Structure formats: structure tokens, C-alpha cells
Amino acid sequence: MAADCIFCKIASGALPAMVVFEDADAMAFLDIAPLAPGHTLLIPKKHYRRITDMTAPTVSALSAHLPRLAAAVVSETNASGLNILQNNGEVSGQSVDHVHFHLIPRTEGDGLGYRWNAGRYASGQAEALLTRIRTALS
């Protein structure tokens, strides 16, 4: 547990939350400031700041809850779609430094939108990045 981490406090029960699911390692609860009704957060109970701080098995165990959780959130909000979002770092929009997945139910005309400005690679840039990322993974 990290001192002063809101989600650690929720995970330990020190702070209240509207918990929809819990097991030994994970918890899901309603976001306090929902982008849409039913906006749910899935967290590991253990404190990790970024997904890159987690091991593959811990990410697997956490994300394994997503299909069932997503289905319940979608069906009970009558949503016609769902965004699953996981931010890492302040620049990405992460405001709570404890790994979490957002499940955001979507309905026609909800006004949330979803449009990021797609870019283009400069000549040779994609190939250079491809080589670098492939090498980093090898």
C-alpha cells in the first residue's frame, strides 16, 4: 500500500467506494465522477503506478475480469458500446497514480465523442521505430 494513494485506501477499506466486484487481488467500483452512469474502475489491490510496473501474470489476472465486468456494465446501463481506457502518466490523463482500467458505457448521443487526431509518419520514421521496438522486445 502506498501512503496517500486514494485507490490503496479504497482497496483496504479505509475509504468507502461503491464496490461492484472484489476478490483477493482486484476490486471494481463506480467512478466518483462518472463520464456516464455506470462508469466503473477496475484496480489491482496492490499498488502499481503504471502498467509497466506490473508483471504479465498480474496484468493477466487483472484484465481477466474485464469481459464479465464489461458485460454487466453494458447490460445494466443499456449501453450500446463501451470504452475501456487505461492511462499511464500525467501526460496521458492519469490523475490517480494507481493502475486502473476505466469501463465507460457508451450510448448514441451521449456527447462524449471519441476522436484523437491521427498523425502521419515522416519518411523513414515508422521503419526506424519498428526496428527499435522490435529490438527492445527481442
| Interface with ligand 5GP (CB under 6 A) | 6, 17, 29-33, 41, 87, 93-96
Report in angstroms how near the CB of residue 93 gets to ligand 5GP at its nearest: 5
Q: Which of 39, 47, 98, 100 is catalytic?
A: 100
| 100 belongs to the catalytic site | yes
Question: How many angstroms separate the Cα of 17 from the Cα of each of 6, 13, 47?
Answer: 10, 8, 17
Nearest to 104 by CA among 123, 85, 86, 89: 85
Q: Nine-digit cell at 101?
A: 482500467
Report in angstroms how near the CB of residue 134 gets to ligand 5GP at its nearest: 29
Report in angstroms how near the CB of residue 81 gets to Zn ion at its nearest: 29
Binding range to Zn ion, per CB under 5 A, among 16-24, 41-49, 86-94, 104-112: 41-49
Residue from 45, 98, 100, 102 in contact with Zn ion (CB under 5 A)? 98
Cβ-proximal residues to 110 (8 Å cutoff; 6+ apart), any chain = 36
Asked if 17 and 30 count as a contact pair (C-beta separation under 8 A), the reply is: yes
Binding range to Zn ion, per CB under 5 A, among 24-32, 45-53, 55-63, 66-74: 45-53
Q: Does an H or E element contain 13, and which?
A: none
Which residues are catalytic, by number?
Answer: 100
